[in-house]
Amino acid sequence: MSHPTGDVVKRVRHFRQILVWPLQLAPLTEDVQLRTHWSALRMLRENNPWSEVADEFEVNPAQFQERHYSEFVTFLPYVRRFLYGEGKPAPQDDTVESHADESPIRVFRRNDIKQVRVRLDSDNVRTFEIAHIDLYFFFDIDVVIPVVEIHADDMTLVEVESTMHRFGRAYPAYWDAHGRGGHCVERAEWLAADGTVLATSDYEDKEKYLSYVCVHRAPRFASHWAFLLHPLVPEHSDDAGLVRYQQVEYARMPLLAYLAMEDARQLTRADFVRLGLVTAPGGSSDLPFSERHVRDFEDKYCYDQFWNDQRAEHPGTRLMNCGHAFVMVGDASDPYFVDPHAGLLGQFRHQYFLLFLIPHFNKATLLMLSDRMADALNRLDITDIETVKVFKITIRSLLETFLRFTHRYWFHEVSDQPQARDLYKMTTNFLATDALYTEVRESIEDMSAYLDSDSLRRQANTVVRLTVVTIFGLIGTVATGFLGMNLFALSELSALERTAIFFLVLIPTALLTFYSVRKAKRLSDFLEALSDERVPTKAVLKSMLDVWSRRR
């Protein structure tokens, strides 16, 4: 890969990138007995590369590592319950997944993909090691988050910038004059342990993407990403699959990046802007945006509590966060920065990963709920009783889900450690999750209030009809009461004659009752006019005649 003329080649001794890609899951069909998507994945026996990851807290205490402890104590108690559960044993049951003492997170991992070979451009191909490829499921929430962690040693800064900018793309934004997908790598290949190519990207296949959008009104995911998620299949795919997913927001996958530089002091302000905002490579003296646009870059996107490039030995660590990306930069010669267990590399892969994952999961859930509400409204036809019933069931189900999400997953603070607390707050501010939460809550409350008012209206109408029937039924009751006043010696008649008289009274009374119910609204209007002394007699008579008139 070519470097800008006159720039010193800056070396990244160790590079690590974690992609976090929230996706929305389609609800399981009603005829499926499983309650959760991960149960469906767990039950698949054939052609299923995913296996569930055992809880790290279920090992022998002698094997419990210090980094597990450091991760655990980073978070506040209520966040620990979300991440790790209560620590009480519970039975494993594929059909009953909700246990108060378990973590609501289930993680599945595939181990058949060991490397990814990426062609950044025609003369540069890099092979990255795969640390892990996971699927994060969450109980009671139709969201899954694929997580892909790659790493490589001894890269140039330009290669790192290009990888960060172009690798995590679900589909092309456009195609250039040479037919290459815009902002995408030229080629990506998943490799097995023996080097076998398992899947290859198809960003250059423009016609497939265009026709897919034309037919399905949804973007087509690149073939290697679809392969990665199999046996999960896209919502609009013709492939058979019980667990189906669709885009919730991101085509450009959120990421975390770790750069252990040969000399972090070589990085210029333009370099930091490119890394922090994840832009395309460029000259170290040329800002990717106007000076006015990035004039507050350090104040807005950088967390420099431990960064000092004037320090004699190591400049420390600069953390950058724009919501979409979290980037950690330091010196490879700093032992604490590169320590994979007790140092910052270990914290990056665990504590900082969770600090980044939680707000993106929250935003994906809120967007999923908003999408479900919009879909429910689109399907509502107030003239069709069945769609009204479905709408009521859907909205009440969404309200229940939102309440459980609020009490189980929604956090304003996750840690009492200043750095973790501040970085989490930065991410939530950039993602605007608080405003989105308020918007979704108000929308659900408005719909719930509409359903309540509609129920009250229907109950009021029922009371009116019953009142009208009772009033007019009273006339019939009094008029037919003579049957029980012994005016006629009916008891002396034969059983057949008395039965005939009973039905002669029953049938007209029933017909009159049903007719009164049928005309209840008009009869109610007549009674209201009759009871109002201000209404003239002519108007009362007209109201009475309207009971039998035909209305358009």
- pLDDT of 1-53, one tens digit each? 656 655 688 999 999 999 999 999 998 865 555 568 888 888 887 888 999 98
User: 447 versus 346: which is more confidently predicted?
Assistant: 346
Q: How far apart are CA 10 and CA 113, in angstroms?
A: 30
Give yes or no for a contact between 233 and 23, defined as CB atoms under 8 angstroms apart: no
Q: How far apart are CA 226 and CA 190, in angstroms?
A: 12
Instruction: Report if residue 122 sits inside a domain.
Output: no
Confidence (pLDDT) at 387: 81
Instruction: Report if residue 184 sits inside a domain.
Output: no
Confidence (pLDDT) at 475: 56
At 326, is the pLDDT very low, low, confident or very high (cuts 50, 70, 90)? Answer: very high
Residue 526 φ then ψ, to 5°: -65, -45
Degrees to nearest 5, angle at CA 357 with 352 and 362: 140
Average pLDDT for residues 107-116, to the nearest whole number? 95
Radius of gyration of the chain (CA): 34
The residues facing 329 across adjacent strands are 259, 318
Instruction: Report if residue 520 sits inside a domain.
Output: yes
Question: Would you state the structure tokens that stand for residue 119, as one six-digit string?
Answer: 């062609």
Which among 3-7, 62-66, 506-510 has the top mean pLDDT? 506-510
Distances, alpha carbon 288 to alpha carbons 9, 156, 169, 384, in Å: 18, 18, 20, 55
User: 94 versus 474: which is more confidently predicted?
Assistant: 474
Instruction: Report if residue 483 sits inside a domain.
Output: yes
Question: In percent, how much of the chain has pLDDT > 70?
Answer: 85
Instruction: Report if residue 503 sits inside a domain.
Output: yes
Q: How far apart are CA 245 and CA 487, in angstroms?
A: 78
3-state helix, strand, coil in the chain (%, to 5): 45, 20, 35
Confidence (pLDDT) at 552: 42
Domain span at residue 486?
473-546
Instruction: Report if residue 43 sits inside a domain.
Output: no
**Residue type, position 340, single letter:** P
Give yes or no for a contact between 434 and 365, defined as CB atoms under 8 angstroms apart: no
Please count the structural domains in the chain. Answer: 1
Residues 462, 467, 473, 475, Cα dihedral to 10°: -160
Q: Is the pLDDT of residue 453 over 70?
A: yes
Distances, alpha carbon 1 to alpha carbons 37, 123, 128, 282, 493, in Å: 43, 6, 16, 12, 112
Averaged pLDDT of the chain: 85
Question: Would you state the structure tokens that stand for residue 315, as one six-digit string?
Answer: 């400049």
At 470, is the pLDDT very low, low, confident or very high (cuts 50, 70, 90)? Answer: confident
* Closest to 258 (Cα-Cα) out of 371, 367, 346, 360: 346
User: 239 versus 420: which is more confidently predicted?
Assistant: 420
> Taking phi first (over 0 means left), then psi (-120 to 50 degrees means alpha), and beta for anything else, what does residue 140 get?
left
Instruction: Report if residue 420 sits inside a domain.
Output: no
Q: For residue 269, how many other CB atoms are within 10 A of its CB?
A: 14
Half-sphere exposure of 355 (CA within 13 A, CB side): 32
User: 63 versus 402: which is more confidently predicted?
Assistant: 402
Confidence (pLDDT) at 42: 87
Q: Is the pLDDT of residue 474 over 70?
A: no
Confidence (pLDDT) at 204: 94
Confidence (pLDDT) at 89: 52
Contacts of 315 (CB under 8 A, 6+ apart): 264, 265, 307, 308, 309, 330, 331
User: 174 versus 534: which is more confidently predicted?
Assistant: 174
Instruction: Report if residue 521 sits inside a domain.
Output: yes
Rounded to a whole number of angstroms, the distance between the first and last alpha carbons of the chain is: 77
